[in-house]
Amino acid sequence: MIPPAFDYHAPKTVGEALGLLGTLGSDAKLLAGGHSLLPMMKLRFAQPAHLIDLNRIPELRGICLDDTVSGDEVVIGAMTVENALIASPLLQARLPLLSEAAKLIADPQVRNRGTIGGDIAHGDPANDHPALAIAIGATFTLQGPGGTRQVAAEDFFQGTYLTALADDEILVAIRAPAFAAGTGWAYEKLKRKTGDWATAGAAVVLRLTAGTVSHVRIALTNVAPAALRATAAEQALLGQPLNDTTIRAAAAAAMAACDPAADLRGDVDYKTAMAGQMVQRAIRAAAARAH
Ligand SMILES: Cc1cc2nc3c(=O)[nH]c(=O)nc-3n(C[C@H](O)[C@H](O)[C@H](O)COP(=O)(O)OP(=O)(O)OC[C@H]3O[C@@H](n4cnc5c(N)ncnc54)[C@H](O)[C@@H]3O)c2cc1C
């Protein structure tokens, strides 16, 4: 299927892109990897008169460490593609959850063009980066005509395809604290086949002190209108030892927060039950990595 006609713009800087966005207003859409936007255009769910391509803006790509803040922060340009996350020695060493989980996103061809920023800005509850970003405590740098602002990942996703991004803003970077030594992490994703979106997914980041949980973040994929931080599940673990009883309690609390949409991947009960299973698996896998 062929998308409707549009004018194409290829700015070279974020400033130029913001200028175009300001001038063209709601007739324009930003283009990243195009793997979500172009299918929507082909189906006529989106019919922008202008596409502003972010691919020729070098400042939006790359992964680096910001050691000027207290505790190192990893900074990922919004136009960094999934395969670059997988290949990054910095992420493998300091935020390995992201490089490992990116291997579970789509297929190699999609990962070659699809960007972390597009995955987040799209606001699709089925996408994996939203829950991953919540679990690692990421903040998003949004740039608009008046400057930049930081929004915590858990405040960014407001509903299905609904985010805190204003029409005149660009997501320029994703920032997250590098994992402290001993941090355990895991992303468990149930999918029908390789390359599919999650039926249910759970991201867990935790630390143990003297055998009890001293830090934990749990976030869920595709079991609510938006990516979900499972705070009650976290509370069920904080200060507790990890055993069958506490892990099951956390899974039950996570399931109670689920509100999935029934679709071809399953009905509400099945998806909720699978979310509980993914939470249990992810807690156990994260605990096995914590030391
Ligand atoms: C076959 C297939 C399987 C897939 N499987 C998965 C999967 O398992 N898990 C998963 O997470 N995703 C999956 N995806 C989606 C894929 O990861 C997309 O690449 C991603 O959703 C969008 O990223 P993009 O760079 O292609 O963005 P685009 O499609 O170009 O843009 C998506 C939206 O975000 C906006 N946007 C893009 N960048 C910015 C920015 N920097 N600032 C503000 N707005 C911006 C665009 O205007 C558009 O509205 C799959 C896609 C396909 C085609």
How far does CA 241 lie from the centroid of its chain? 29
Q: What is the pLDDT of residue 70?
A: 76
Which of these three, 176, 209, 234, is where a domain ends? Answer: 176
Buried b (16+ CB within 10 A) or exposed e, 206-240: bbbeeeebebbbbbbbbbbbbbbbbeebbebbeeb
Q: Which two tokens stand for residue 64?
A: 């680096």
Ligand 1 pocket test target in 37, 40, 85 with most atoms within 8 Å of CB = 37
Residue 69 included in any domain: yes
Q: Is 57 in the pocket of ligand 1 (CB under 6 A)?
A: no
Question: For residues 46 and 37, is the Cβ–Cβ distance under 8 A?
Answer: yes
Are 17 and 69 in a shared domain?
A: no
Question: How many distinct helices (H) and strands (E) make up the chain?
Answer: 12, 14
Place of tokens 């993914």: 278
Q: Is 271 in the pocket of ligand 1 (CB under 6 A)?
A: no
Q: Is 78 in the pocket of ligand 1 (CB under 6 A)?
A: yes
Q: Is 201 in the pocket of ligand 1 (CB under 6 A)?
A: no
The Cα–Cα gap between 15 and 20 comes to: 9
Residue of the CA atom closest to atom 53 of ligand 1: 35
Ligand 1 pocket test target in 51, 119, 129 with most atoms within 8 Å of CB = 119
136: helix, strand or coil: coil
Residue of the CA atom closest to atom 12 of ligand 1: 127
Q: Which two tokens stand for residue 216?
A: 């934990």
Q: What is the pLDDT of residue 142?
A: 98
Strand order in the sheet with 184-190: 184-190, 200-209, 212-221, 228-229
Q: Is the pTM of this model over 0.75?
A: yes
Ligand 1 centroid vs 122 CA: distance in angstroms? Answer: 6
Ligand 1 pocket test target in 35, 38, 86 with most atoms within 8 Å of CB = 35
Residues of the domain holding 205? 184-289
Which of these three, 126, 159, 176, is where a domain ends? Answer: 176
Q: Which atom of ligand 1 is nearest to the CA of 127?
A: 11
Local confidence band at 69 (pLDDT 50, 70, 90 cut-offs): confident
CATH number of the domain within which 99 lies: 3.30.465.10
Are 88 and 43 in a shared domain?
A: no
Q: Is 197 in the pocket of ligand 1 (CB under 6 A)?
A: yes
* Cα dihedral: 132, 165, 121, 47 (round 10): 160
Local confidence band at 2 (pLDDT 50, 70, 90 cut-offs): confident
Q: Convert the pLDDT of each residue in 121-162 to its tens digit.
A: 999 999 999 999 999 999 999 999 999 999 999 999 999 999
Which of these three, 141, 176, 211, is where a domain ends? Answer: 176
Ligand 1 centroid vs 33 CA: distance in angstroms? Answer: 6
Neighbours of 161 (CB within 10 A): 15
Neighbours of 162 (CB within 10 A): 11
Q: Is 195 in the pocket of ligand 1 (CB under 6 A)?
A: yes
Alpha helices for 55-212 (secondary structure H)? 82-87, 89-94, 96-102, 108-113, 116-121, 129-135, 153-156
Count of structural domains within the chain = 3
Residue 56 included in any domain: no
Within 8 A by CB and 6+ apart from 283, the residues are 186, 204, 206, 218, 237, 242, 247, 250, 251
Residues in the chain: 291
Q: Convert the pLDDT of each residue in 228-245 to its tens digit.
A: 999 999 999 999 999 999
Question: For residues 175 and 138, is the Cβ–Cβ distance under 8 A?
Answer: yes
Residue 2 included in any domain: no
The average pLDDT across 168-190 equals 97
